[in-house]
Structure 1
Amino acid sequence: MANPKFVIVFVVAMAMVYVVAGWEPARATFYGGPNGEETLGGACGYSDTIRQGYGLQTAALSTALFNNGAACGACFEIYCAPDPHFQNFCKTPAVSIKITATNFCPPNYTKTVDIWCNPPQKHFDLTLPMFTQIAYPKAGVVPVSYQRIPCFKRGGMRFFMRPEGNPNFILVLVFNVGGVGDVAFVRVKGTTTGWIPMQRNWGQNWFTRTPLKGQGLSFQVTTSDGRTVESYDVVPPYWNFGQTFEGKNF
């Protein structure tokens, strides 16, 4: 019996493709090995997605979805969507997977085929264990339907004081963010300062050049839906680069 979540819609040239009602079409490939080898955060700044709580439920996004790193931490639900232009390698009955955006799938302008991550295409490069839940690996690439979903994370939001920082350049990785998951603004407050806006360095790494070493720190994090969480005094005055601290979550 067909999955009740699927309906038939018509697209260009009257070709039929199965998509989930109200969702967006895209494509998906996979990388790494069967046990999640090479599952790194890359362009988002998550150094080890397994240890940082994202597990293997991750994907690298194409340019059209990555939004210059602003989409890092966002969560998606994905279905394999049979398309008559592709041999059907979707598994049945259809199931969905839920992933977090943790990396960037870069465009390749030197190739003329297999250029799934080139603009303006929407594409997810999944870990192999996630891809095999919705499709057979021999497919290589499959059409999918996707939608944004809330992120459910265990524990509080984390603040990693990156070791690349120095007393005059504080670089903080914000991760394990609940709610919509993607961070839009970060502010930091020292023991003797007011709230200081931080700037996005890359991915979900945020920086300030205000000297804050030796001060206790509080963070104010705002996600793309406008919600804000304040975590007061989560970093003690004796903090060091390379340490991770836990605050509140959405």
Structure 2
Amino acid sequence: MAVYEVFLALAMATVVSAIDSDWYDAHATCYGDMGGGETMQGACGYGDLFKQGYGLKTAALSTALFNDGLTCGACFEIYCHNDPQWCIPNAGSIKITATNFCPPNYTPNKPDAWCNPPQKHFDLSVKMFTKLAEYRAGIIPVRYRRISCSKHGGIKFEINGNPYFTLVLIYNVGGAGDVNAVKIKGSNTQWIAMSRNWGQNWQTGTVLTGQSLSFQVTVSDGKKVKLNNVAPAGWQFRHTYNGRNNI
């Protein structure tokens, strides 16, 4: 990788990986329908956003913001900016969680490739978009900033995989929201660093069946929380366990 590319990657990560009171320029569109169709099962791995508490207060991020999935779970405040034709007067702002990826489109001469690098873009649910602007606007200029995520209850851990491969989806994370490091501990093991599989799915090949499980979760601003005995010794795959505490 060239020195310039390394610098650009680091600069991009800095922009999207910390709570920031400054406002930045971007654009927004919407996808799906008013009920949230097509917004579920996104690239962050959260699955049913209603079941997991995110609802329709969500967005898919362009490449420049998605950060290869590391921004999943981050929260943003957004308002429609400088478009008197389409911005709803006195609409104020919306607050959303990043749950999906808006892929780039490199088709030649395509005028609406808004998610292509280096553009910062939010593809909102229809319900969120229409709080800011008329639906027929299609695309609007917005301003955004990273904010602290306010989540109810503890961090959730959905355990999947098999006896030889444990895959854990982590969601409902407060504070910075975007998990950057995870450790897991069985009642018969030391702390084990997990690797990120995709989105907010974290994995280990250590056999952990029959052991109670504890987790340590670190978010992008460096804050961490240790959650002991999240899952009992009899935990099962495809079940979700509540960490009881949050960032």
State which of 199, 202, 208 in structure 2 corresponds to 1:206.
Answer: 202
CA distance in 1, matches of 2:39, 2:151: 18
Matched, 1:221 2:217: yes
CA distance in 1, matches of 2:132, 2:56: 14
Amino acid at match of 1:39: T
CA distance in 2, matches of 1:175, 1:34: 24
Can you list the C-alpha shifts for 1:197-240, whole angstroms capped at 9, x where unaligned? Answer: 00000000000001111111000000001011011011111111
Give 1:36 deviation, angstroms: 1.8
State which of 151, 176, 180 in structure 2 corresponds to 1:180.
Answer: 176
Q: Is contact 2:50–2:56 with CA below 8 Å preserved after alignment?
A: yes
CA distance in 1, matches of 2:178, 2:41: 14
Structure 1: runs of 5+ lacking an equivalent? 1-20
Change (3 A) 1:224 1:38: same
Which residue of structure 2 aligns with residue 101 of structure 1? 98
Give 1:41 deviation, angstroms: 3.9
Say which SS state the counterpart of residue 162 (structure 2) adopts: coil
Compute the TM-score of the two structures, normalised by the length of structure 2: 0.89
Give 1:168 deviation, angstroms: 1.1
Compute the TM-score of the two structures, normalised by the length of structure 1: 0.88
Give 1:33 deviation, angstroms: 1.0
RMSD after superposition: 1.2
Which residue of structure 1 aligns with residue 112 of structure 2? 114
Bigger radius of gyration: 1
State which of 152, 155, 160 in structure 1 corresponds to 2:153.
Answer: 155
CA distance in 1, matches of 2:191, 2:133: 48
CA distance in 1, matches of 2:229, 2:172: 18
Amino acid at match of 1:229: V
Q: Is contact 2:91–2:131 with CA below 8 Å preserved after alignment?
A: no
Poorly superposed stretches of 4+, deviation over 2 Å: none
Which residue of structure 1 aligns with residue 59 of structure 2? 59
Structure 2: runs of 5+ lacking an equivalent? 1-20
Matched pairs, number: 225
Amino acid at match of 2:65: L
Which residue of structure 1 aligns with residue 5 of structure 2? none
Matched, 1:50 2:50: yes
